[in-house]
Amino acid sequence: MSRIDRLSERASGASGRAYGWLDDRFDVERGRRFLGKAFPAEDSFLLGEVALVCFLVLVLTGIFLGMFFEPSTTGVEYEGSVQKFQGEEVPESFASVLQITYDVPFGMFIRRMHHWAAHLFVASIGLHMLRVFFTGAYRNPREPNWVVGTGLAGLAMGAAYTGYALPFDEFAATATGIGYNLATSVPLVGDVIGKAVFGGEFPSSATIPRLYFLHVLVIPAAIAVLLAVHMAILVRQKHTEAPRDDDVPGQGARPADGAAAPGEASAGDAGDAPAVSDGGEATVAKEDDTVVVGLPAFPNQAAVSAVVFFLTLAALSALAGFLPVHNIAEYGPNNPAATPELIMPDWFLMWVYGFLKLLPTWMSFTVLGVHVSTEFLGGVVLPTLVFAAVALWPFVDYREEPTHFTASPLDRPWQTAVGVAAVQFIMVASIAGMNNLLGRALGVGTGTVNPILSAALVVVPVVSGLVTYYVLRGGSEAADADTTTEAVDDD
Amino acid sequence: MWFVALHGEPPSEEIAIDEGVSEMRPLSGIVDTPEKLAPSQVGVIVWVALFGLVGVLAAVHRFMDSAVRPDDPEAASETAVADGGRVGLPWFRTEDRWVVEYHDASDAMEGILAMGGLTILAIVFAALFTGEYLTLARTQYFGVYATGMFVSLALLTVAYYAWFLPHVQVAERREHS
């Protein structure tokens, strides 16, 4: 054998040897079975993957941004390319974000991508939760994963909020100040929370480093842990599945004579039955949810996930390329002596802002020397109740028996009605958070729209929920009546 | 809600860049876009983008799902593989999992052409992106090139799935022994 042949032989066996080396150390062979895990091929099941991709983009772009960002409010003379601030003393964090945006090649693109990924992360988690809610995919045994998902939604908002303030520009600092006021409004422990989260009275020299620490380490680590738990539960419990159209072949050995087993297509079949490889002694009924049917994780589902990955990146790239988000050069550095023309939190916290705007000041009270302010009620108590209601929902719509098939929202009148009412509630509260914009759009003052919004916050959800319930219940009753009539006719 | 939310920031002037400090032109672009967006406007844009993304994903996912299944019964029986439990990869079947549907990949010539074309497209966009990085670093161009590159890669994956992956469905028992 020539030397070339020996080298060729060694090269061709390299992958096998590498695999053997890994298998000896990590027992890869036994873990391989997870590569076949069944993923039902449902379009709406891809929403969670969109959120996952967003988190990955956030981590990667965040690492890039972290190489340039300075988490400090110390004043420095700005020497970058933005004419407006040249020679001016600005906070170091503000100057570093200007540098990333205007003086680092593709810094503006990466920074925008980070921001849009943060917004898409929250939105995709929200839509994912709505899908799970309306299809009943939170029911037994998936209640724990719903609770974990609710925690992830809260953490995603927290991550976005703590990142919002970091450039220490006038707009974000003012909006972040709302959060500080809410934190310190908590009776008895407000000051401690304020010191823990904001590093003392806002804005202090410790505020930005503290929020930076939370933003780049504490919250991402918590998200990573909860994501791991979320995935582990999913793998353990397996996916929900949409109701099947047909029975599927059961597991079993092919008959020895080679005859087609039940449920197996043979050449020339009408094509209704699937082409089966493993054969089967019996079929699995389409109503049988002890079995989940789907694409194997590798390579089929992995390819689908790759498409989700690339298309999500494409969407984020398009947004980052063409639309600015949090353009700090337009707002200027934090100025305690001024107030920006527009004060508002991020869109996903607008409903909380709406509570703050609608609750009248006379609702504050003092008990045994402890003051309970309107800020605490509207900005802490109500949002906590909303999150608690979301987290506890699977225990309200409780099922004794495990349910693995998703349901149509049209077949669940009262659950869908509650969901519609809840969405309306958040939407009206969000409009209340933008009451100044609403007033501007209608040409009236906030004093005119606030009472209407206060009434709408109660009336709109209740009415929309009741309408949804009666419409769906009518549909269900009609369907039941049709079924009964058919049964009688058959008799 | 969106109607109200879009009444965000009034138009503002573009940030002036001192071209003596840097050769980069991050604000040079193809089209005029807003200089700043209010959080409420960002909310509307991101939800529109998400619904658009979900729509595209659903369309692509359905195309992938239909492309790998033979259309007519004759083709189905020709491409059906029935080898008594030997099809596919070793991990498709365990004591709790089995293959319920399997069709060989078509390996059609159009798949080769599509993948070749999309590979060239992805490389061209990646080269343009790199070129932009080394020159003016215009953000809108980065956006166009990155979007083009990622869409090319997505479609490349779709083409591979549709023409070169076998269609497999497995069934798995939920309760493991």
Answer whether B8 sits within 8 Å of A342, measured CB to CB. yes
The torsion region of residue A368 among left (phi > 0), alpha (psi -120 to 50) and beta comes to left
The pLDDT assigned to B11 comes to 75
User: Is A276's pLDDT higher than 70?
Assistant: no
- The listed range with the strongest mean pLDDT (A55-69, A158-172, A197-211, A361-375) is A55-69
Given a contact cutoff of 8 angstroms between Cβ atoms, the answer to whether A184 and A199 are in contact is: no
CA-CA distance, A417 to A464, in Å (whole number)? 8
Structure confidence at residue A272 as a pLDDT band (50, 70, 90)? very low
Tell whether A108 lies on the interface with B, counting CB pairs under 8 A: yes
Given a contact cutoff of 8 angstroms between Cβ atoms, the answer to whether A332 and A133 are in contact is: no
CA-CA distance, A355 to A363, in Å (whole number)? 12
CA A8 to chain centre: 50
Structure confidence at residue A253 as a pLDDT band (50, 70, 90)? very low
| pLDDT (mean) for A214-223 | 97
Contacts of B6 (CB under 8 A, 6+ apart): B40, B41, B44
The pLDDT assigned to B160 comes to 95
How far does B56 lie from chain A, in Å, by closest CA? 8
Residue ranges of chain B with per-residue pLDDT less than 50: 79, 82-83, 177
- Burial zone of A43 (CB within 10 Å; 0-12 exposed, 13-18 middle, 19+ buried): middle
How far does B67 lie from chain A, in Å, by closest CA? 13
- What is the reported pTM? 0.91
- The listed range with the strongest mean pLDDT (A16-25, A108-117, B78-87) is A108-117
Window 209-228 of A, Cβ < 8 Å to B: none
Window 455-474 of A, Cβ < 8 Å to B: none
User: Is A361's pLDDT higher than 90?
Assistant: no
CA-CA distance, A472 to A478, in Å (whole number)? 10
CA-CA distance, A472 to A319, in Å (whole number)? 38
The pLDDT assigned to B176 comes to 61
Percent of chain A with pLDDT over 90: 73
Least confident among A89-103, A469-483, B10-24, B111-125: A469-483
Given a contact cutoff of 8 angstroms between Cβ atoms, the answer to whether A113 and A57 are in contact is: yes
User: Is A279's pLDDT higher than 80?
Assistant: no
CA-CA distance, B81 to B67, in Å (whole number)? 17
Determine which of B33, B37, B44, B46 to mutate to test the interface with A (most A C-beta atoms within 10 Å). B46
The pLDDT assigned to B93 comes to 87
In B, minimum Cα distance to A79 occurs at B21
Structure confidence at residue A340 as a pLDDT band (50, 70, 90)? confident
Contacts of B60 in chain A (CB under 8 A): 307, 311
DSSP character at residue A249: E
Contacts of A54 in chain B (CB under 8 A): none
- Transcribe A13-43 into DSSP letters: THHHHHHHHHHHHH-HHHHGGGGG-EE---G
